[in-house]
Structure 1
Amino acid sequence: MPDLRAIALGAGAWGGALLVLVLPGSAALGAVCLLVVVVGAGVRGRRWSAAWLGPLAALVAVAGVAALQQALVTTSPVASLAEEGAVVTLRLELTSDVRVVAGQYGDLLVARADVSRVEGRGSAWSLDVPVVLMADAGWPRLPLGTSFETTARLVPGDDEVAALVRPTGDPRVVAEPDVWWDAAAAVRRSVRAAVAGRDADARELVPALVVGDDGGLEPALADDFRTTGLTHLLAVSGTNLTLVVGFVLILGRWLGVRGRWLHALAAAGIVGFVITARAEPSVVRAAAMGTVALIGMGRNGRSRGIRGLGVAVLGLLLLWPRLAVTAGFALSALATAGILLLAPVWRDALMRWTPRWVAEAVSVPLAAQVACTPVVAALSGQVSLVAVAANLLAAPAVAPATVLGLTGGLAGLTWAPLGVVVAAPAAWSAQWIIAVARWGADVPTASVDWGTGPVPLTLLTIACVASVPLAPRVLRRPGSALACTGLLVVVMLVRPPSPGWPPDGWVLAACDVGQGDGLVLRAGPHAAVVVDAGPDPTLMDACLDRLEVESVPLLLLTHFHADHVDGVAGVLEGRDVGAIEGTALLDPPDGVRTVEEVVGRDPGPAAYGVARMIGEVTIQAVWPRPGASTDPGESAPNNASVVLVAEVAGVRILLTGDVEPSAQAALARDLAGLQVDVLKVPHHGSRHQDLDWLTSLGARLALVSVGADNDYGHPAPDLLVALTAAGMRVWRTDLSGDVVVVERDGEIGVVAHG
């Protein structure tokens, strides 16, 4: 039985952070005090062992640090100025790379930074608080580690940062990045250069494997990695550090390094890895877990690894208590715990009838997957069935792709052609990993939908806990192990039907794709016209799978905002797609580029005013009218949305994209007297609407495609009241999931799948 005292320390630390970060201040303080009293009384009365005092001390220490950090951030002058929306002068240092993020009205540059000085409202302060910098796409992109001054408007942030910083002027550089940041940037550039001539996907995957640089990875491929449980390869993880530092140690031994110098070499490798991958909390967390894995590979590895895991969790949370509520920390800690605690037992069971190398290859990914499954399901709403097999197949290629990719980058710093030669096998290995991800994602039942509510997650957690004692009994006998494997293969290869879904007589589906639009018009058996694809390929693909759509004769994109086009890859996933059309306004450029990269061309503009029959769908584009003008103060891409009047099985439907009030007023004039059965409410239920027109349409159903807990206040309460008062029944995807309109015996109704 392993010594779990260090694990208990880590668990206590994790609990202390969660108490402070999840509960209100007074409730957290009360909970900590109650635990101190209860545990202290139990130990003093000798009802409990004194060993309980260790986890309690860890809980109190981390809770105190978390409360102190939270207080420093929320009570800082920066936070107070942000509450007032003040325009100030700041001195900042970038602590992360600048990322390009799609905003509602165009791209934004986002980075983390620390504020060291702020001047505003006639006062000045020297301090040290974290903020998030959010600038327009045209703002200069500064490298990590740069110190600069700028004027900016402060906006309130969450509890993690003191404010959001929206620059109003150009930055003035005060200090360039330190030499180690320049060296790390040079290595990252060299890694990319070494594989630049390779396959498009491989040249993006190698930097992701080496240093977590996945910025250019195709969204559809990233979705395949998620489906197959290979996402950990796209971010900086303990695996990266284990491979890199392990290679450095092997090289050191070959060169004759021994004893304490070998430990110093390992420490240098860890520091170099952290700097190259960016010394952010998530990277340090990955480095800590990788170090635990290295310890676990040594003499008396399991016992030392378990102690190392507990100490690593305690140390990380003392430094950054907020890691306790991040998915990456939970997955990393649980996977490491599963490998250290479960894998050896399951390996020994398998070794009764398989070679040791087979037993270890199967037990390690299986243990990590079981430990992480409840958290993964809570995040994605899915349970992967192919994850263990995919990780097993990808594992042989991970080490050469990572080690040779880094070696090629380092060699390229001295002579670029040498780097290209050394990194070539890394690209070949990456291609194999990509093939595994795509193969796994194409399995008919690669994953099963699982709810994210408390009941399904509790049941899943109970099942995973129950598997801990049951798995060795199953694995030690070849008959039971092979029978379970065969059953899993059958389930993966034969897609189970969804009882009663899609419902009989369905004509229109508003897919639950989050904050965006993904609409499906039934064009015949297993065929549909798709209007917009939402922001997430996985969600769009899953909705079409549930509707059993195999052919899409027309994909129409109303406009190019990310919440309407970023899911295009999900529509194309395993389906025959015919014509692809959109609006004539190719804006914003990033949305257009996303579509071009996925489909290989610009969508042709939808023909205005032409009625077409596409299977069982009659469809006509009624906007934008050539030469029409709209309010320049409104969003041009929104007002360029293609608006459609469609009819399926006698049900008339108006699909409005994101058109704003001036475009709606023009439509009211162009289509005077228009009556429909179903209205897709414009712009996710924004408050900016022409209510007179919307309420005059005579619709019986109003569908609002909107994301839960979105930041825009959609849908607007006043709009919902007006639509209901006009006699419409309002259905929302954030509340009901997939909303499907059905026609039966001349009557229309709604069936939801949430």
Structure 2
Amino acid sequence: MTHDGRMVPGAAASWCLAAWLVTSGSLTAAVVGTAAVVVAAASWRRRVVPLALAAVCVAAVAVSCSWRLAAVEHSPLVGLARSGQLATLEVQVSSDARTIQRRGVASTVVGVVVRRVAAGDLDLRVREAATAFVDGRPDDLVVGRRLVVQGRLAPSDRSDESVTIRVGRIGPATGAAWWWEASEHVREGVRRSVSHLSDEPRGLVPALVDGDEGGITDDVDDDFRRSGLTHLTAVSGTNLTIVLGVTMAVARAGGLGRRGLWVVGLLSIAAFVLLARPEPSVVRAAAMGAVGVAALGLGSRGGLRALCWAVVGLLFVDPWLSRSPGFVLSVSATAGILVLAPVFARRLEAWMPRWCALAIGVPLAAQLVCTPALAALSGEVSLVAVFANLLAAPAVAPATVAGLVGGLLALVWAPLGQVCGTAAGACASWILTVGHTAAGLDASSFEWHAPWQVLLVVVPAATWVAVRLASRPVLFVGLVLGLAVGIWRPPETGWPPPGWVMVSCDVGQGDATVLPVGPGQAVVVDVGEDDAPVDRCLTSLGVRTVRLLVLTHGDADHVDGWRGAVEGRRVDQVVVGTSGGPPIRGVPRHVAEAGESFTLGETSAEVLWPPADEPPAGDRNGVSVVLRATVRGVRLLLTGDVGAEAQQRILRSGADVAADVLKVAHHGSADQEPRFVAAAHARIATISVGEHNDYGHPTAALLAMLRDDGTAWWRTDRDGDVAVVVRDGRMSVVGRG
């Protein structure tokens, strides 16, 4: 099957330029737009139609960027924000509110459109996007409603909005337009229809129906991400496809022709946008749904062309979508379904029913095309996504339809709505079971430590192999079964791996690091919070003698497991920081200070922090002992829990922190100094972190910092004990999950 790819260069060029221009200022965008117009005119005169078409697309998106950026840069609100002006504003809620916790206090973040601002002698009517921060959890922040607030303005760090508003006082909200109020009633009806269910199904059904993620727990979110089902918990093309499929099936059964189906499809898309809110993700899903409607009328050849036009149109309306992860994934998945899914389906149809071929081909195509983007965004590749989607798919549509019908019926009579809600909850429970089970498999996903661009070569090669094997049932089924067995019971490497120079022990949300000294002997840095995990780790490494036990600081997650390291082993000496540590009877104790060094067998180390005159602080993290160790030529930087302030002081002291391996400070918290990470410039980083921890460790900011520095990381919550190994002069990492 051929595809109309004439629009692909224009869409791709527009996308790349938009991602750059939204951070470059209005003048740059205007220059690019002007140049694109000149190129388009010259190409048209010379009848170079493909180049002219691409230049027109680029010009349109560049002009939109320039116009939008100029409006923000010259907004009267920007000047008020720079002076921290207190103002009274009339605003309209533009997105659903979400609650966050800041220092134990709940506050609400909501997107608004400022329509009027009064500050001092100024009284202006405007139309500017802003983000408002409100203390507590106001109930009436519903999309479309207007309210008057008083708050202090501050500059926004986003290029698509003028200011942020720290709201001090908030007035009563006035009613929104009838269509917004109607959509809110339906959303509330959906919530009421499942209110009698247990926590997880009660949270998942509204997410499936209208993208209401307020009830999704952290465990569900994490397991769905690992199993490749995240798209179900937020508004995506899946939600819209189900709505479109049901409404158009009913319309087709009523005898409507192709044009009638188009009308019904477009009306369904409009209703879906109202129900799920016109947020960027919803608008994106609606556009992808429109592509599906176009493919219905024009075939997949025209569907690809429609996809490209949708990309250009969306970027013209909102250039900031170009940097949205959801936009990247939606377009990738849609392109994969349009281009690759028919290829897989045709080959699989040779030996299986068409419905089965499509059920396999669609998620396989979408997952393959999305894999490079997923690796770039999360540093992780799911191995169970296709299996999980195949198993969960039969329950998604019934859960969505039953939830929506239940929401509508709940507006009339709540008990009737709960009947449908119960059916939706049963389907949601199956989806939850699939997600939790798939995420719990030993090899459900793996960290991608190489540059994500490598996948631009690996994925096409894997796709070519998969397409070739799809028409050969014995090989295809054998490969699938082999992959399934490998995921269910992955092969284990011998432990400890020969040539190990450092092991980060999996002790949950704590730290424990082991450095070799000689046969059966080691330096142990921190011991975690519980006895059993560190004892297990040291036993597996054959450690019978702890030549030096370093307790970096007195926090429980670093020292309370000391009995697990000590009992049944000989301990020669204990070194603590200025914040102290537990007394260990009969073992000499020394307080470390910067400048000291030691050598024990294969391991030598220098203390970089804290200095001798550094008093114990209320925050014990800041006086953690920081070691720079060397084992068989490999430089290891062990950082305890030092935060950004201590890291800055270490850099100012002139200490050499360059390392081959970085033990990331404080379990990957956001309290990191980028210059410290850059100065270490490690090839490998280990992150000692507990599974499903409540702190959000490691944070996305820390992982992005490592990625930007070209550092590959391993995490104990997913990789288990992590060993850094040197063999034949080459350094590698082995995990023991």
Aligned to 2:665: 705
| Cα root mean square deviation, aligned | 4.9
Aligned to 1:464: 459
Aligned to 1:241: 240
| 299 and 320 in structure 1: CA distance in 2 versus 1, 3 angstrom threshold | closer
Question: How many residue pairs are counted as aligned between the two chains?
Answer: 625
Matching residue's letter, 2:6:
R
Aligned to 2:350: 352
Q: CA deviation at 1:192?
A: 1.7
Long gaps (5+) in structure 1: 533-540, 550-581, 584-605, 624-641, 655-663, 696-700, 722-731, 745-749
The counterpart of 1:335, out of the listed 333, 336, 340, is 333
What is the TM-score when the length of structure 1 is the normalising length? 0.71
Q: Distance in 1 between matches of 2:277 and 2:616?
A: 52
Q: Distance in 1 between matches of 2:277 and 2:327?
A: 16
Q: Distance in 2 between matches of 1:186 and 1:392?
A: 33
| 650 and 493 in structure 1: CA distance in 2 versus 1, 3 angstrom threshold | farther
The counterpart of 2:563, out of the listed 593, 605, 613, is 613
Matching residue's letter, 2:51:
W
Q: Distance in 1 between matches of 2:274 and 2:187?
A: 11
CA contact (8 A) 2:379 2:447 kept: yes
Q: Distance in 1 between matches of 2:379 and 2:467?
A: 28
Matching residue's letter, 1:477:
R
Q: CA deviation at 1:246?
A: 2.1
CA contact (8 A) 1:139 1:170 kept: no
Q: CA deviation at 1:394?
A: 1.0
| 674 and 471 in structure 1: CA distance in 2 versus 1, 3 angstrom threshold | closer
Q: Distance in 1 between matches of 2:625 and 2:315?
A: 60
Instruction: Indicate yes or no: 2:22 matched with 1:21.
Output: yes
Aligned to 1:474: 469
CA contact (8 A) 2:153 2:163 kept: yes
- 1:521-568, CA deviations, whole angstroms, 9 ceiling, x for partnerless residues? 78999xx96459xxxxxxxx9xx99x999xxxxxxxxxxxxxxxxxxx
| 690 and 403 in structure 1: CA distance in 2 versus 1, 3 angstrom threshold | same
Q: CA deviation at 1:87?
A: 2.0
What is the TM-score when the length of structure 2 is the normalising length? 0.72
Q: Distance in 2 between matches of 1:34 and 1:26?
A: 12
Aligned to 1:73: 72
CA contact (8 A) 1:228 1:441 kept: yes
CA contact (8 A) 1:140 1:170 kept: no
Q: CA deviation at 1:436?
A: 1.1
| 457 and 738 in structure 1: CA distance in 2 versus 1, 3 angstrom threshold | closer
Alignment of 1:534-613 (within 5 A): 613=563
Instruction: Indicate yes or no: 2:634 matched with 1:684.
Output: no
SS at structure 2 position matched to 1:363: helix
Q: Distance in 1 between matches of 2:146 and 2:624?
A: 59
Matching residue's letter, 1:3:
D
Alignment of 1:287-686 (within 5 A): 287-296=286-295, 298=296, 300-451=298-449, 456-495=451-490, 504=500, 519-520=511-512, 530=528, 613-614=563-564, 616=566, 645=582, 684-686=643-645
CA contact (8 A) 1:687 1:715 kept: no
- 1:142-163, CA deviations, whole angstroms, 9 ceiling, x for partnerless residues? 2222212222122221212211
Q: Distance in 2 between matches of 1:338 and 1:53?
A: 27
CA contact (8 A) 1:17 1:317 kept: yes
Matching residue's letter, 2:241:
T
Alignment of 1:148-227 (within 5 A): 148-157=147-156, 158-167=158-167, 169-173=168-172, 175-227=174-226
Matching residue's letter, 1:346:
F
| 107 and 461 in structure 1: CA distance in 2 versus 1, 3 angstrom threshold | farther
Matching residue's letter, 2:511:
L
| 616 and 275 in structure 1: CA distance in 2 versus 1, 3 angstrom threshold | farther
Identity of aligned residues (%): 34
Q: CA deviation at 1:611?
A: 9.5
Q: Distance in 2 between matches of 1:392 and 1:702?
A: 40
Higher mean C-alpha displacement, 24-33 vs 186-195: 24-33
SS at structure 1 position matched to 2:411: helix
- 1:642-693, CA deviations, whole angstroms, 9 ceiling, x for partnerless residues? 9965989999899xxxxxxxxx9676999xx9999899666723479999xx
| 666 and 408 in structure 1: CA distance in 2 versus 1, 3 angstrom threshold | same
Q: Distance in 1 between matches of 2:624 and 2:3?
A: 73
CA contact (8 A) 1:19 1:28 kept: no
| 548 and 34 in structure 1: CA distance in 2 versus 1, 3 angstrom threshold | farther
Aligned to 1:2: 3
Matching residue's letter, 2:429:
Q
Q: Distance in 1 between matches of 2:355 and 2:362?
A: 11
Q: Distance in 2 between matches of 1:197 and 1:397?
A: 20
Aligned to 1:586: none
Q: Distance in 2 between matches of 1:237 and 1:742?
A: 39
| 653 and 312 in structure 1: CA distance in 2 versus 1, 3 angstrom threshold | farther
CA contact (8 A) 2:265 2:293 kept: no
Q: Distance in 1 between matches of 2:61 and 2:619?
A: 64
| 105 and 665 in structure 1: CA distance in 2 versus 1, 3 angstrom threshold | farther
Alignment of 1:84-163 (within 5 A): 84-104=83-103, 106-120=105-119, 122-137=121-136, 142-157=141-156, 158-163=158-163
Q: Distance in 1 between matches of 2:619 and 2:97?
A: 46
SS at structure 2 position matched to 1:57: helix
| 548 and 322 in structure 1: CA distance in 2 versus 1, 3 angstrom threshold | farther
Q: CA deviation at 1:32?
A: 5.2
Matching residue's letter, 2:392:
A
CA contact (8 A) 2:145 2:176 kept: yes
Q: CA deviation at 1:109?
A: 0.8
CA contact (8 A) 2:529 2:560 kept: no
| 88 and 366 in structure 1: CA distance in 2 versus 1, 3 angstrom threshold | same
Q: CA deviation at 1:340?
A: 0.6
Q: Distance in 2 between matches of 1:40 and 1:89?
A: 48
SS at structure 1 position matched to 2:109: strand
Q: CA deviation at 1:315?
A: 2.0
CA contact (8 A) 1:94 1:144 kept: yes
CA contact (8 A) 2:189 2:407 kept: yes
CA contact (8 A) 1:502 1:548 kept: no
- 1:551-592, CA deviations, whole angstroms, 9 ceiling, x for partnerless residues? xxxxxxxxxxxxxxxxxxxxxxxxxxxxxxx99xxxxxxxxx
| 33 and 611 in structure 1: CA distance in 2 versus 1, 3 angstrom threshold | closer
Aligned to 2:545: none
| 164 and 495 in structure 1: CA distance in 2 versus 1, 3 angstrom threshold | farther
SS at structure 2 position matched to 1:119: strand
SS at structure 1 position matched to 2:643: helix
Q: Distance in 1 between matches of 2:277 and 2:257?
A: 29
- 1:85-143, CA deviations, whole angstroms, 9 ceiling, x for partnerless residues? 22222221111111012335533310100111222353232211111111223666522
CA contact (8 A) 2:39 2:52 kept: no
SS at structure 2 position matched to 1:519: coil
Long gaps (5+) in structure 2: 542-553, 593-613, 629-637, 655-660, 681-701, 716-720, 726-730
Aligned to 2:285: 286
| 388 and 185 in structure 1: CA distance in 2 versus 1, 3 angstrom threshold | same
| 668 and 359 in structure 1: CA distance in 2 versus 1, 3 angstrom threshold | closer
Q: Distance in 2 between matches of 1:58 and 1:6?
A: 9
